Amino acid sequence: MSEIDVVREGPGKAFMICNEAIVRAAIEADVKLVSEYPGSPTTEILDTFSELSPKFDYKMEIATNEKVALETCAGAAMVGLRSMTAMKSVGMNVASDSFFSLAYTGVKGGMVVVVADDPHAHSSQSEQDGRVFGPAAYVPMLEPSYPSEAMSMVKKAFGLSEKHGMPVMIRTTTRVNHQSGIVDIGKLDRKPFEKLAWSHPPGRYVTVAESARKFKHELLQKIARIQEEFENSDMNIVTDTGSDV
């Protein structure tokens, strides 16, 4: 890996692996807090963020596990800072309890959760289909197929998250995370890191009984709006490969 293209000013073109493109997209989107637990095939995301942390003003943490990483990012997003975490699908098993509740409470700042499946179990103890976490938790999910698509989807995911007040999931696979390609890098227009006050009504983030039912009702309404938006999105495309199979 080389950090040269990930940190250089744009606009322009660069050749990088998808995990580097994900990091570059988050930096362009002005991410302010990153917390992760290492796990292939997303390890390069953590490594790149860690290597670049002296050059930017985001806060970088290596968490005890994926649940702690998710909750750290959730706290930042609840107060209004943009945050990102990345994990393999096995790691989402660890973080899923918090992930499901987070969909109910929502966030204020953009929050992106990258979840990478590992078909053929190259570096995992099991094969899993992480796509089920999106609809099961009522969280919108984007699936890039190559580095340039990951770049654009990550940046859009932050906007979607803030627009609808909920986390957005980016689902990848080992072959996507580790493939290389040419990406369009944009301008680095970052704002200084600012510590924000966290003020909210009592019970705002309490998810139990009547509150949980209220949150669920609001969540279903959000998902209906997002579904309509996704149907007309320029990210929603069908590619004809010309194959009869």
Taking residues 45-67, report their average pLDDT: 95
Measured CA to CA, the distance from residue 161 to residue 82 in angstroms comes to 9
Express as a percent the part of the chain with pLDDT over 90.
77
Q: Is the pLDDT of residue 131 over 60?
A: yes
Token pair of 204, please?
Answer: 């705002």
Predicted confidence at residue 126, as pLDDT, reads 87
Predicted confidence at residue 10, as pLDDT, reads 80
Token pair of 129, please?
Answer: 């289909």
Confidence band (pLDDT; 50, 70, 90) for 143?
very high
- CA 43 from chain centre, in angstroms, equals 14
Express as a percent the part of the chain with pLDDT over 70.
97
Confidence band (pLDDT; 50, 70, 90) for 244?
low
Set out the domains of the chain in order of their start, with CATH numbers: 16-186+201-231 (3.40.50.970)
99 touches 70 (CB < 8 A) = yes
Predicted confidence at residue 2, as pLDDT, reads 64
Q: Is the pLDDT of residue 1 over 80?
A: no
Q: Is the pLDDT of residue 245 over 80?
A: no
Measured CA to CA, the distance from residue 34 to residue 237 in angstroms comes to 30
pTM confidence score? 0.92
Q: What is the pLDDT of residues 177-225, one digit of tens each?
A: 999 999 999 999 899 999 888 888 888 888 888 999 999 999 999 999 9
φ, ψ (nearest 5 deg) of residue 169: -100, 135
Residues 6+ apart with CB under 8 A from 149: none
Confidence band (pLDDT; 50, 70, 90) for 243?
low
Q: Is the pLDDT of residue 106 over 70?
A: yes
Predicted confidence at residue 240, as pLDDT, reads 73
